[in-house]
Structures are given as C-alpha cells and as structure tokens.
Structure 1
Amino acid sequence: MIGRRKVITGGIALAALVGAGAVYLRDTPGTATYFAPDGVALRGADVVAYFTDGAAVIGMPEYAHRWSGVTWHFATAENRDAFAADPIAYAPQYGGYCAWAVAAKKEIFSTRPENWSVRDGKLYLNFNDQVQQTWEEDPEGYIATGDAVWPEVRAKLS
C-alpha cells in the first residue's frame, strides 16, 4: 500500500519535472527570442551559408559566436565574422521558429535546418518538408501575416 506522504511527494516531483520540461520547451530566459535547443541557435545551422552557399550547412563549435543570448555556429571563420559584423542581416525571421506556424497558427514550432527559404534577403525556416511545401504555395502571404502577428507570438515566449 502506498502511503499518502509518498503519493504527495511523488506528485510534487512529477509537477516539478513537468514544469521544468515546459520551461525547456519554451527556451530558457534570455534565449526565447531565437530557436536554440541546448543554447545553440537553429540546431547549429550556419545562417550565413544560406545566403552565401544557398544551402543548409551545419556549423562547427570552433567557429562559434555568441549573440542575443545564444550561441551561433558557423562552417568557417569568414561566415562567423560576417555574422558578427551584421547579425540582423543573417538572423532568421521570427526567431528561427517555423515561419508557417507563426503566420498560420500564431504558434511557435521548432524548425529543421533543411527546411528553409530566403525571400527578399531574409531567412525563413519551417518545421518539416510538408510544412515547407505549404509555405512555398504562398510565401508572400505567409510573410505578410507572419510580420503582422510576430510581435504577439513573440510575447508568448517571455
């Protein structure tokens, strides 16, 4: 027979774990602006490479730069230095969260480096291949809506 004290203690421990998980999913304080699992922006994708190479390239920790509360990885020292000189030019829109989800659902979804698009000199990332296909059907419409709702969605992160 399980005693009342064990049930209460177990419930408190479970609540603490669930609460800790919720905080992690929403990012830790100071990193909520950018999608940064484990404190590394965009799962380590080199954001400069989207513009220079036209491809998703995973960066390396030895070419890291800290900006906006998170660590950004780059494939080369040149890419790191370009980002450090003008991070706003390369940082993804909507904090690197799924652009479609921001626009269509007013929600934040994680992203995968290989689901991306550069439009008018700005980087947009998406959740998966299917979402990327949907995004590509009307990128201008999703961008207009996303730009309008991003301040509201971003407020949910803090």
Structure 2
Amino acid sequence: MKKFGFLFLLISFTAFAQKHDYNTKKGFVAEGYDVVSYFNNKAENGDKKFATKYDDVKFKFSSKENLETFKKSPKKYVPAYGGYCAYAIGLKGEKVSINPKTFEIRDGKLYLFYNSWGTNTLELWQKEGAEQLKTKADKNWIKIKEQK
C-alpha cells in the first residue's frame, strides 16, 4: 500500500508540475506585486483583498480596477517565462528568482529580472542585447517546459 501511495503522490506532483510553470515565491506570481500596475510603469505591491487565481496560480492587485482589468485579459498581464528572471532564461535557460521592482515592458509583455547583491540583470539584458536574449529566452523557455 505504501508503494501505491508514493506512486500516486509522484504522479500527482508530476501532473501538477507539467501544467504550471510559474515563479510563485511568497505564494503569488511576481511575489505578490500587481502585474497590471507594471503596464503603468509602476511596481505596486498587491493586496490580498484584490486577489484571484488564473491557471491555478494566485495573483494580487493593488486595486479592484486592476483586478477587473486582469480578469478581462489575463494572458496580456502574465509575466513572460512564468515570472522567472528573463535574463537568466535567455542566457543559460535557468529559472532564477526576481526582484519584483526590476522589470521591463517590451512589445506589450512584462519581463521580470533578478536584482540583488550588486547584480541588476535588467541592466545586463539591455547592455548585452535585449532582442537577442529575448529570442534565446523564448527558445529556452520552450525547452524548459518540454523537460517536464
């Protein structure tokens, strides 16, 4: 019976992992920051009163208006690469956490970046060629998702 329980758990976990590939540090995408506010060039912390689930992961918003905006077109606001550092995905195909205050809107899409210990990957992204890194990141993200 123990083997069956372990096998069930393993299958359940694997199925869950295949469906979702989001950085949900602190329990929310973008560490609980309002993904709609980024499109107004602001990094605003979300409020639990304005939370929702999309694709089985949780998002928080700074206002009811932003929550409603997200609900109308969620795909527009979901961060690229599941909210992992765009630079790390592009450079090495690695999932790296982010600093939710370090972001870029490029071609209508939200990109988040690591920024700590003296390393600001948004600056590296821009300095080393954002378009080339974005192309690599798009390809790497497909590979990452296929590995599951």
Q: TM-score, normalised by structure 1?
A: 0.76
Please tell me whether the aligned partners of residues 26 and 32 of structure 2 are also in contact (alpha carbons under 8 angstroms).
no
Q: For residue 89 of structure 1, report the CA deviation from its aligned partner.
A: 0.6
Spell out, residue by residue over 1:108-150, the C-alpha distance to the aligned partner (whole angstroms, 9 max, x if none): 0011111100001011001115212101111111111111221
- Count of residue correspondences: 130
Cα distance change, pair 47–109 in 1 and its aligned pair in 2 (3 A): same
Alpha-carbon distance in 2 for matches of 1:109, 1:97: 6
Tell me the residue number matched to 1:96.
Answer: 83
Of Structure 1 and Structure 2, which has the larger fraction of its residues in strand? 2
1:155 alignment partner in structure 2: 146
Question: Contact 1:31 / 1:70 at 8 angstroms: preserved in 2?
Answer: no
Q: Which residue of 2 aligns with 1:105?
A: 92
Structure 2: unaligned runs, 5 residues or longer:
1-12
| Rg comparison, structure with higher value | 1
Tell me which of 131, 135, 143 is aligned to 2:121: 131
Partner of 1:46: 34
CA RMSD of aligned residues (A): 1.8
2:96 partner SS: coil
Gaps of 5+ in 1: 1-22
Query: Offset at 1:30?
Result: 7.2
